[in-house]
A and B are shown apart, each in its own frame.
Chain A
Amino acid sequence: MEMGRDLALLAPELTLAAAAMLMIVAEMFRAARLVLAIGLAGLAAATILTLPMLSVDATVFGGTYRIDLISGWAKLILLPGTALSLLLVRAEIAGRRREGSVQSLVVLVTLGALMLSGAGDMMVVVIGVVLTGLGSFALVAWPRDDAATEAAMKYLVFGAVTGSVMIYGLTFWFGGTGSTLFSELGQLQGQTLVTIAGLIAIIVGLGYKGSLVPFHFWAPDAYQGAPVSIAAYLSVITKAAAFFAFAQVLRDLPRDGGWPLALAVIAAATMTYGYLAALVQTNLVRLIAYSSVAQSGYFLMGVVALGASGFAVPGILVFAAAYVAMNLGAFAVVLLAGRDLGDLEGFGRTRPWLGAAMVVFLLSLTGIPPLFGFVGKFYLLSAAVEAGYLWLAIIGVLNSVLALGVYLRLMVPMYRTSSTEHPSEVGAVLTQGTVVVTVLATLLIGLAAGILPGP
């Protein structure tokens, strides 16, 4: 009885897991198109199965996995985002060695991301981190050249160390509460040292996933070494999942442990450092990588306000949805334009529609209304102000100006006259399709923000 109910609630996850298995089987026959078809079908089915469950607030398997607002919206955000990523992967590496394996790994990593987003238990977080991590290392290493191998090694070592620190630190919380369930964290009231030990563990483990400063070092290298489509995927899906997990863990933690302040400092450092570093990049992928680091700081503003503002959870969800759309879109344009800043020279003039789309993505990343990114940032800033972190909101606002400086470095050359050729590449149709979907989302969902979760 209980089991049946649990399995029914897990229908989206189970569907996706089944799809991933089938993809691996299809890959054994090297049927890349079939792998892609199964993946897309699985993602679509899981998305549809999620829709009727959005208002559910329940836990399954003895409270270890949560079916709630966060995990429901996480599925609605991550699954379509993964589907678009699969299209980009197809566009970039169609017909190359082990294309189907890459596709299967992407879906498996997304499964791990779902685990993180619904985690109600320390062990589920650990499984989620490991599942997303293992798949990601392999994805980064896929090109098999020196850069990719080095990036993947860095990523792996970083992941292994932070993962161990996290598991070690979580044992303190287990010791303090006698349970691995996050819902029991309220018992830590008063046990400051234990709270801090576990908190450091969580910040290290998930901060690495979400590329927070100072755990971000792997990100630019990994994005640069990996195929562009994989960089796009990792920059949105695993990162968003990390912040969903943050929300799941910290919403039960008493706010008097001082963690909001610690996270606020990290948030301020992350956004400032990310944009400052992005200002000096000449490689387009690295530039966007650093800008993604900065965006993590904004995510963290919502985490800081957990439990103190009704905007915190909606802010994280809305910003995640916006971020997935605009960052995937920007990467898709990079896939078409080229990996160097110089490749954008004159791009807006020779390819006016794609150029306009890129401008929309970049303005949305800056947070210019009425684009989707603005709505997310607005919620997050409101959350910070309401939680009493006005100074953090001010830093967030000042960084938006820095952000504009970063993104204008892309926009200005796009409209210069130049002789750079911008040939259509192979697989351009799929990439352009992704651009169309993401640009429509960026333009329109912000205007229809009433459909999104609110405080």
Chain B
Amino acid sequence: MPLLTIATFLPILAGLALMALPDRSTRTAHAVSIAATGAVFLITLAIWARGIVAGDFAQVEEIAWIPAIGAAYRLGVDGLSLPLVLLTSLLFFLSALYSARIGERAASYVVLMLMLETASLGTFMALDGLLFYVFFEVSLVGMYFMIAGWGYEERQRAALMFFLYTLLGSLPLLLAIIGLYLGSGTFDMRVWVEGTALGGLPAMLALIAMLVTFAVKIPAFPVHTWLPAAHVQAPTAGSVILAGVMLKFGTYGLVRFAYQMTPEAFAQAGQVILAFGVVSALYGAFAALAQSDLKKMIAYTSVNHMGYVVMGVAIAALATEPRIRTIALDGATLQMVSHGLVTGALFFLVGMLQDRAHTRGIGDFGGLLGRVPWLGWAFILSAFASLGLPGLAHFPAEFQIFLATLNGMPWGLIAILAIVITAALYLRAIAGVFLGEMNDKWADMPDLDRREKLVILPLLVLTVLIGVAPGWLIDMIHTTMMGLGN
């Protein structure tokens, strides 16, 4: 059975079916959404059960598309994409559960979400350059309408900025794809990842084009400025998907395209890329420290966490020892998953807080822990995970990245400073919102209800599980990264 294709297109087909239904009430829409995303989650679990292989893509599905130019519909997974596929299907399922409270034009909202899921899964699983670009761009359009239609007060401006910024960002990738195609005569990414399609100056130009695209998407300093605006204005589920899934397009592309397809150019530019990673990590942390708005703060910590991923990939290119390269790539990939889970949880929790209080300023709260213990403890756990506490999801990832950095480019370790700053800012946020004097305004704030617990618990469980016993996930990632490191 073509499980990859089914998982990719089930959401959009469900969306189309919903549009065709005579009854497009809020209830039906959310029922369709939960059923479809739930089914997709189960299918991705089945894909996981089928397993991957070392040194190649597994479960490849291929149909001719535009034979004249060697473009085909090709899907497949490996140890880099499969963890992200699982993360995607989980986050979309939880977002569908969370979004069941949205009443405003629910049918359109659900259709957009489902379209985004198709685009996201397709982006991670596509093995054809043209197909990848198609999914990549469709996700952009979907997110634009999501922010513009269901965001907060300043949504039009934020959506416009997001769209223009990321379109401008993604177009260089199109030129790089054209270059790779002209260099190899095919759009088959399995050929491209051999790294021989381009060499010399064309490879360097293609690399620069790809780095621009993925740096905007990641986002890395200094092209991160769209992120806080988009996050603050996006609806909660939009933020979760944006941070949890769509930022990973950038880091996934960084490994799959930049690192794998132009390896020599990447190694030459390694120091510069490493520097961008370090600066992003530090800048994200400092900028987050300066925020008083919870959502904006978490948005900036994404810049910080993604900076570590960039560092990991750069170290992998710079290191000479295969063992170090593999550790760096393992850590970078694990960091993508951890960030998706932890930041997803944090955005959900801030969204739940905002649903109750209609504000997100740290200073507006105080002493909430006694009033809403579920929300409070969930936030504290996620915040600790986000700042890299051992035993929680980010620790094994960041540990591996720093270990590789220490062995490869010790100067990069100044990024560790960012961990201290993140710790400070999260403690400050926890103290400000959940500890101290209770603000009487929130005396009758209700705690999480059953549906909200259902949304948040899986993320917390996985955060702890990856922190304590990451083996099951690292083994999958390692299967592929072993080959990439050599």
A450 within 8 A of partner (CB): yes
CA distance A181 to B182 in the complex (A): 34
- Please give, as numbers and ranges, the residues of chain B lying within 8 Å of A454 by CB-CB distance: 66-69
B149 contacts which chain A residues (CB < 8 A)? Answer: 415
Question: In the complex where A412-B148, A450-B66 touch, is A393 in contact with B167 (Cβ < 8 A)?
Answer: no
Q: Is A397 part of the binding interface, using a Cβ–Cβ cutoff of 8 Å?
A: yes
Instruction: Tell me if B64 is interfacial: C-beta within 8 Å of chain A.
Output: yes
In the docked arrangement, what's the CA distance between A363 and B115, Å?
16
Cβ contact within 8 Å between A449 and B66? yes
Q: Say if the beta carbon of A400 comes within 8 Å of chain B.
A: yes
Residue A6 CB within 8 A of the other chain: no
Candidate in B133, B140, B160, B178 with the most chain A CB atoms within 10 angstroms:
B178
- Indicate if the CB atoms of B65 and A449 lie closer than 8 Å: yes
Cα A363 to Cα B205 with chains together (Å): 28
Q: Is B414 an interface residue (CB 8 A)?
A: no
Any A CB within 8 A of the CB of B457? no
Say yes or no: A450-B67 contact (C-beta < 8 A), given A398-B171, A404-B164: yes
Across the interface, do B134 and A370 meet the contact criterion of CB distance under 8 Å?
A: yes
Q: Is B174 an interface residue (CB 8 A)?
A: yes
CA distance A112 to B182 in the complex (A): 37
B137 at the A interface (CB under 8 A): yes
| A385 within 8 Å of B (CB atoms) | yes
Q: B164 and A369: CB pair below 8 A?
A: no
Q: Which residues does chain B contribute within 8 Å of A400, judged by CB atoms?
A: 167, 171
B172 shortest CB reach to chain A, Å: 7
Q: Can you name the residue of chain B whose Cβ is closest to the Cβ of A397?
A: B171
Q: Are A385 and B130 in contact (CB under 8 A)?
A: no
Q: Verify if A372 is at the interface (C-beta below 8 Å from B).
A: no
Chain B hits for A401, CB < 8 A:
164, 167-168, 171
Decide yes or no: A408 and B160 within 8 Å by CB, A398-B171, A400-B167 being known contacts. Answer: yes
> A325 on the interface (CB 8 Å rule)?
no
Give complex CA distance A385, B182 in Å: 9
| A368 interface residue per 8 A CB criterion | yes
A382 adjacent to B133 (CB under 8 Å): no
Which B133-178 residues have C-beta < 8 A from chain A?
133-134, 137-138, 140-141, 148-149, 156, 160, 163-164, 167-168, 171-172, 174-175, 178
Q: Is B221 close to A, CB under 8 A? A: no
The interface residues of chain B lying within 8 Å CB-to-CB of A370 are 134, 138
B361 within 8 A of A: no
Q: Give complex CA distance A363, B134 in Å.
A: 13
In the complex formed, the residue of B with least CB distance to A370 is: B134
Asked if A381 contacts B137 (CB within 8 A), the reply is no
Per-residue CB contact flags for chain A residues 391-406 toward chain B (1 = under 8 Å, else 0) read 0011001101100110
Q: Which residues of B contact A449 (CB under 8 A)?
A: 65-66, 71
- State in angstroms the CA–CA spacing of A405 and B160 once bound together: 9
Q: A363-B141, A400-B171 are in contact. Are A393 and B69 (CB under 8 A)?
A: no
User: A386-B182, A450-B68 given as contacts; is B163 within 8 A of A408 (CB)?
Assistant: yes
Please give the distance in Å from A94's CB to the nearest CB on chain B. 32
Tell me whether A4 is interfacial, beta carbon within 8 Å: no
The reply to whether the CB of A378 lies closer than 8 angstroms to some CB of chain B is yes
Q: Quick check: A378 and B174 within 8 Å, CB to CB? A: yes
Complex contact A397–B175 (CB within 8 A)? yes
Q: Check if A175 is an interface residue, CB within 8 A of chain B.
A: no
Is the CB–CB distance between B175 and A385 below 8 Å? yes
Complex CA gap A374/B168 in Å reads 15
* Closest CB in chain B relative to A366 CB, distance in Å: 8
Contacts of B67 in A (CB 8 A): 450, 454
Given the complex, which residues of A lie within 8 Å of B65, measured CB to CB?
Answer: 449-450
The residue of chain A having its C-beta at the shortest distance from the C-beta of B182 within the complex is: A386
User: Cβ of B179 < 8 Å from any Cβ of A?
Assistant: yes
Closest chain A CB from B373 CB (angstroms)? 41
Nearest-Cβ distance from residue A162 to partner chain B, whole angstroms: 34
The contact of B179 among A363, A385, A404, A453, by CB within 8 Å, is: A385
Number of interface residues of A (CB under 8 A): 28
CA distance A378 to B134 in the complex (A): 11
A381 adjacent to B134 (CB under 8 Å): no
| A455 at interface by CB-CB < 8 Å | yes
* Cβ 8 A contact of A381, one of B71, B163, B178: B178
CB of B249 within 8 Å of the partner chain: no
User: Which residues of chain B are within 8 angstroms of A369 by Cβ–Cβ distance?
Assistant: 130, 133-134, 137-138
Selected from A382, A394, A453, the residue in CB contact (under 8 A) with B182 is A382
Whether B181 sits at the interface, judged by CB under 8 Å, is yes
C-alpha gap A400/B171 in the complex (Å): 8
Interface pair A385/B168, CB less than 8 Å apart: no
Once the chains are docked, how many angstroms separate the CA of A370 from the CA of B132?
Answer: 11
- CB distance B141 to A393 under 8 Å? no
Residue of A nearest to B173 (CB): A397
Chain A hits for B171, CB < 8 A: 397-398, 400-401
Q: Which residues of B contact A404 (CB under 8 A)?
A: 163-164, 167
- CA–CA, A369 to B139, complex, Å? 10
Residues of A within 8 A of B133 (CB): 369
CB contact list, A417-455 vs B, under 8 A: 449-450, 453-455
Q: B64: which A residues are within 8 A, CB to CB?
A: 450
Residue interface mask A268-295, B partner, CB < 8 A = 1: 0000000000000000000000000000
Report yes or no: B163 in contact with A382, Cβ–Cβ below 8 A.
Answer: no
Q: How far is A296 from B137 in the complex, measured between Cα atoms in Å? A: 24
- A381–B175 contact, CB under 8 A? yes
Whole-angstrom CA separation of A405 from B171 in the bound complex? 15
Decide: A382 near B178, CB < 8 A? Known: A404-B167, A408-B160.
yes
By a CB distance below 8 angstroms, the chain A residues around B182 are: 382, 385-386
A393 touching B68 in the complex, CB below 8 Å, given contacts A370-B134, A404-B163: no
What is the minimal beta-carbon distance from B107 to any residue of chain A, in angstroms?
10
CB contacts (< 8 Å) of B137 on chain A: these are 368-369, 374
| Contact in complex: A393, B163 (CB < 8 Å) | no
Interface residues of B in 205-247 (CB under 8 A from A): 205
Q: Chain B nearest CB: distance from A417 CB in Å?
A: 12
Interface string of B186-216 (1 = CB under 8 A from A): 0000000000000000000100000000000
Tell me whether B167 and A382 are in contact (CB under 8 A).
Answer: no
Complex Cα–Cα for A382 and B141 (A): 23
Cα separation A455 to B137 with both chains bound (whole Å) = 24
A385 touches B138 (CB 8 A): no
Tell me which of A368, A381, A415 contacts B148 (CB under 8 A). Answer: A415
A405 to B178, CA, bound (A): 24
10-63 of chain A: CB within 8 A of chain B: none
Instruction: Name the interface residues of A356-399: CB closer than 8 Å to any CB of B.
Output: 363, 368-370, 374, 378, 381-382, 385-386, 390, 393-394, 397-398
In whole Å, how far is A7's beta carbon from the nearest beta carbon of chain B?
32
Looking at the complex, which one of B69, B163, B178 makes contact with A455 (CB distance below 8 Å)?
Answer: B69
CB distance from A73 to the nearest CB of B (A): 14
> Which chain B residues border A394 with CB–CB below 8 Å?
175
CB distance from B323 to the nearest CB of A (A): 39
B174 contacts A397, C-beta separation under 8 Å: yes
How far apart are the CA atoms of A394 and B67 in the complex, in Å?
26
Which residues of B are found within 8 Å of A314, using beta-carbon distances?
A: 68
**Residues in A neighbouring B130, C-beta threshold 8 A:** 369, 378
**Complex Cα–Cα for A363 and B138 (A):** 10
- In the complex, chain B residues 62-99 whose Cβ is within 8 Å of any chain A Cβ: 64-69, 71
Who on chain B is nearest to A393 by CB? B175
Give CA–CA (A390, B201) in the complex, Å.
Answer: 13
| Complex contacts, B205 vs chain A, CB 8 Å | 390
In the complex, chain A residues whose CB is within 8 Å of the CB of B172: 397
Contact between chains at B141 and A368 (CB < 8 Å): yes
A-B contact pairs, 27 of them (CB 8 A): A314-B68, A369-B134, A374-B137, A378-B130, A378-B178, A381-B175, A381-B178, A385-B175, A385-B178, A390-B175, A393-B175, A398-B168, A398-B171, A401-B167, A401-B171, A404-B163, A404-B164, A405-B164, A408-B163, A412-B160, A415-B149, A449-B65, A449-B66, A449-B71, A450-B65, A453-B68, A455-B68
Supply 7 further A-B pairs (C-beta < 8 A) apart from A415-B149, A454-B66: A378-B178, A381-B175, A390-B205, A397-B174, A400-B167, A449-B71, A453-B68
Across chains A and B, which 4 residue pairs bring their CB atoms closest together, nearest first? A454-B68, A369-B134, A397-B171, A370-B134
